[in-house]
Structure 1
Amino acid sequence: MNFDKAEDLCKKTLEIHRAHSEPASIEEAADRRLMALVCEAKGDYESALEHLVLASMAMIASEQDNEVAAIDVSIGNIYMSLCRFDEAVFSYQKALTVFKSSKGDNHPSVASVFVRLADLYHRTGKLRESKSYCENALRIYAKPVPGTTTEEIAGGLTEISAIFESVDEPEEALKLLLKAMKLLEDKPGQQSTIAGIEARMGVMFYMVGRYEEARNSFESAVTKLRTSGERKSAFFGVVLNQMGLACVQLFKIDEACELFEEARAILEQECGPCHQDTIGVYSNLAATYDAMGRVGDAIEILEFVLKLREEKLGIANPDFEDEKSRLAELLKEAGKARNKKAKSLENLIDPSSRRTKKESTKKWGFRI
């Protein structure tokens, strides 16, 4: 995930092509696609688009139609990121025509473009069209052509589940994720992917109030992430936070506290104290300490969060007043007044986190 280093290496590679390769070679096109991927990851969409167009021109000259279609899908994705939806549709439809012609109507490449179109129409509020493309993709995944990999099908099902989730159909999304997980469970090297699916299932179980299933799903994801060497990633910290919230709903406060404390350490290290995910864990940990009667510890964290907002993040965030009110209640309970020059807790400073959904739960103000 070191995109700056990746970009430097790609630049050197393209310089070598300019000096030693034929103009617009297939090899240069492949490296431009890699550079486009790096630029997209860094949010530099215009540069990514430029590299993809040059790669496409090289592939057209070499009559590599399927590669051109694959690049058209990538170009469509960039247009989506830029909210240039008409151009995205045009790119996807070009790719769809080629894939249908060269691979057949039931090929997973066709299904993958259907998924991209479904996502686009969902984003633009055309839900009927979005659902239609989802159904077309699911029809292909239900009866895959020979040679289709389970990874392709699982990936498609996971993407479609995200669309169902976003239109408030969590039960349908859960069914698709369960199918995807079953396809991958016997495949080597898929533990991290399965853990990601389980974490998403945990969030959806939580959303529909199935807290025991949510906790179990998160626990399974956490176990896989620990064994696969991702126990210090920001994603792992977020999953710990979400599992903690499920434990709160099950009144397993001690377990929740341990999970929030571990999540805090990871997210501070990976993302920093100012990241929204880290702040969310701070808030959840303060709420847990409050629920456990550790009022002094809760006050300490909330004072730190408010100081952080006032000095670095600004106080326009609606959470500020909520946190300020919670701190005032705790101080009243503890018989103190807020220290305006609150003691510095910079020893807590560390980075990491990725919050998905946010809501208040229980009187202490937990957040997901």
Structure 2
Amino acid sequence: MTSAAAVVTILGADELLGLRLNQERSALEQFLFSLQWTRESLRGFQLPLVLWLTPRIAAQLADKAPDFWSWRGGVFEFSQPIAWAFEPERSQSQTLEQPQTPKPAAADPADLQRQIDDLLAQDPESPLLGSLCNDLGKALENEVSYSEAEIAYRNALYHREQQLGTDHIDVATSLNNLAALYDLMGRYEEAKPLYERSLAIYEQRLRPDHPAVANSLNNLAVLYYSMGRYDEAEPLLKRSLTVKEQQLGADHFDVANSLNNLAVLYREMGRYSEAESLYEQALIIKEQQLGADHPNVATSLNNLAELYREMGRYSEAEPLYERSLAIDEQIYGKDHPEIAADLNNLASLYDSMGRYEEAKPLYERSLTIKEKQLGADHPAVATSLNNLAILYDSIGRYDKAEPLYERAIAIREQQLGADHPDVATSLNNLASLYESMERYGEAESLYLRAIAIGSKALPENHPNNVTVADNFRLLVQAALEAGQANQLSNHPMTQEVLRQLSELE
């Protein structure tokens, strides 16, 4: 029998959360009071003790049993890692959502804020403040309260830097979370230095081939993808994949995730054969490791189907979309946001095939589920509104499309901010509708606003910026050819396009 260091692990402290904390001499207080007398009794105990605590119990322990708390050799905080995945988009800005693994129910923000306030009053130097503020940020982010989440994440970063130093691993985690929020909000230039600093800490404190470094590389690559900087994203994704293969094994689930992300990048770059091979590898790993009916298998089926749809291989895409939907319905039921995503994606295939009558009820059902489960003002609802509007636009039902585009814009402006790239996408789509209706002046103002947002939020050569600029030029040309140039303004960009067109005559 080989000798090994032994550790005694104590579990179950979380059960004390069900007790009434404010009741005089509650069972919890008696437990904490008793801990004051255990220190001397345990001095002769030769093995290390590991006591697993929730943040709330730990805060009570530090306050009610300070002598016992001072005996600790260290405090280790564990939080659920952030799952990263791309959301593929269509060329005409019709979002195809990628379902994600279900997450645990988020804590109540009000309750977390009360815990933070109590702890600040009791012990403003507590190392638990950073963890609680971080949890508050996640809870607010889940509620799409991004401005409030930013404050919470910033507070978490502040407390961790003050308590742990600027190069601590937990500081890197806070930098990552704040950067991820900025990425979500379209504030890419603010996210970039945070991701870079987080990566530098991981590389310094761990090692260049640590799995945490691989995750950090992936996150920075996702940001570059969002910014359209594909050439910079590719080497980061490749390095992340290499680290995971070396450290975790070639058939590990995290390797499948990296294969998927690299495939998404290649699909966006038009490197379809490479993307197909990577998607297929990811699917095989997931089926082997998780089983054929796992929700992450459904995600891979959806991604491969989207690639086939984009390549025009509709007959191959349809059964994959249908199998993905069947798996998710078996797991989640028929009224879950994941089902709404699957319905949206299958509808998009029918849309691409011109099977509008089959696509319409799927889009409508997807929208209904999202409104019921997520709320009428959730950004995912704006996605469904946009997609249904595109369908109506395609079949010439402009009267139906216009209010849907307008509502999508209103939701995105309210939830994401007036300068978010998704707002520019919606403005572009509504402008295209107005152009079809020969409302050239209204289309012009929307295109100009979309161009302004893109020039501020995205690199100059981002595909979205190129698309909007091309659309704007085509609008001016269409107005000129229709003899409606008088609808256009004297905006310098408009006048410059008119001048260029006149030189071609």
Which range, TM-score by smaller chain? 0.5 to 0.7
8 Å CA contact 1:263–1:281 kept in 2: the answer is no
Which residues of 2 match residues 190-339 of structure 1 at below 5 A? 191-228=378-415, 230-233=417-420, 235-236=422-423, 239-240=426-427, 242-243=429-430, 260=443, 263=446, 266-267=449-450, 269-271=452-454, 277=468, 280=471, 297-298=486-487, 301=490, 305-308=494-497, 310=499, 315=500, 320=501
Distance 1:186 1:99 in 2: 31
Match of 1:177 in 2: 363
Identity level (%): 19
Which residues of 2 match residues 132-143 of structure 1 at below 5 A? 132-141=319-328, 143=329
The alignment's TM-score, normalised by the length of structure 1, stands at 0.67
8 Å CA contact 1:237–1:267 kept in 2: the answer is yes
Q: Secondary structure at the match of 2:330?
A: coil
Question: 1:289 and 1:36, CA in 2 relative to 1: closer, same or farther beyond 3 A?
Answer: closer
8 Å CA contact 1:267–1:278 kept in 2: the answer is no
Q: Secondary structure at the match of 1:50?
A: helix
Distance 2:485 2:235 in 1: 56
Match of 1:59 in 2: 244
Gaps of 5+ in 2: 1-185, 457-464
CA positional deviation for 1:299: 6.2
Which residues of 2 match residues 75-154 of structure 1 at below 5 A? 75-141=262-328, 143-146=329-332, 150-154=336-340
- Provide the alpha-carbon RMSD of the alignment: 4.1
Deviation track 1:121-177 (CA, whole Å, cap 9, x = no partner) reads 233343322223223223334x23159993333333333433333333333333332
Deviation track 1:169-213 (CA, whole Å, cap 9, x = no partner) reads 333333332222122112347622211220221121021122332
Q: Please say which of residues 170-179 and 234-243 is displaced more in the overlay.
A: 234-243
8 Å CA contact 2:428–2:468 kept in 1: the answer is no
Match of 1:68 in 2: 255
Match of 1:329 in 2: none
8 Å CA contact 1:114–1:133 kept in 2: the answer is yes
Question: 1:50 and 1:180, CA in 2 relative to 1: closer, same or farther beyond 3 A?
Answer: same
Q: Secondary structure at the match of 1:145?
A: helix
Distance 2:369 2:292 in 1: 23
Give, as a single letter, the amino acid of the residue that structure 1 aligns with 2:188. Answer: F
Gaps of 5+ in 1: 326-368
Match of 1:156 in 2: 342
Q: Secondary structure at the match of 2:331?
A: coil
Q: Secondary structure at the match of 1:186?
A: helix
Distance 1:201 1:248 in 2: 18
Give, as a single letter, the amino acid of the residue that structure 2 aligns with 1:263. Answer: L
Q: Please say which of residues 198-207 and 148-157 is displaced more in the overlay.
A: 148-157
Deviation track 1:27-66 (CA, whole Å, cap 9, x = no partner) reads 1121011022123234443543332333234334235822
Distance 1:222 1:43 in 2: 22
Distance 2:229 2:273 in 1: 20
8 Å CA contact 2:386–2:426 kept in 1: the answer is yes
Question: 1:105 and 1:260, CA in 2 relative to 1: closer, same or farther beyond 3 A?
Answer: same
Distance 2:276 2:393 in 1: 35
8 Å CA contact 2:412–2:422 kept in 1: the answer is no
Distance 2:267 2:370 in 1: 29
CA positional deviation for 1:279: 7.4
Distance 2:345 2:239 in 1: 28
> Is 2:12 the counterpart of 1:12?
no
Distance 1:278 1:166 in 2: 24
8 Å CA contact 1:72–1:95 kept in 2: the answer is yes
Distance 2:243 2:351 in 1: 39
Match of 1:354 in 2: none
Give, as a single letter, the amino acid of the residue that structure 1 aligns with 2:358. Answer: E
8 Å CA contact 1:108–1:144 kept in 2: the answer is no
Q: Secondary structure at the match of 1:187?
A: helix
Residue from 195, 212, 224 that aligns with 1:39? 224
Question: 1:148 and 1:98, CA in 2 relative to 1: closer, same or farther beyond 3 A?
Answer: farther
Distance 1:109 1:148 in 2: 17
- Paired residues, number: 309
Q: Secondary structure at the match of 2:236?
A: helix
CA positional deviation for 1:108: 2.5
Which structure: larger Rg?
Answer: 2
Q: Secondary structure at the match of 2:319?
A: helix
> Is 2:220 the counterpart of 1:29?
no
Q: Secondary structure at the match of 1:144?
A: helix
Give, as a single letter, the amino acid of the residue that structure 1 aligns with 2:221. Answer: A
8 Å CA contact 1:285–1:298 kept in 2: the answer is no
Question: 1:210 and 1:73, CA in 2 relative to 1: closer, same or farther beyond 3 A?
Answer: same
Distance 1:230 1:159 in 2: 26
Distance 1:103 1:248 in 2: 49
Distance 1:109 1:182 in 2: 24
Distance 2:334 2:467 in 1: 40
Distance 1:219 1:197 in 2: 13
Q: Please say which of residues 237-246 and 182-191 is displaced more in the overlay.
A: 237-246
Distance 2:319 2:236 in 1: 32
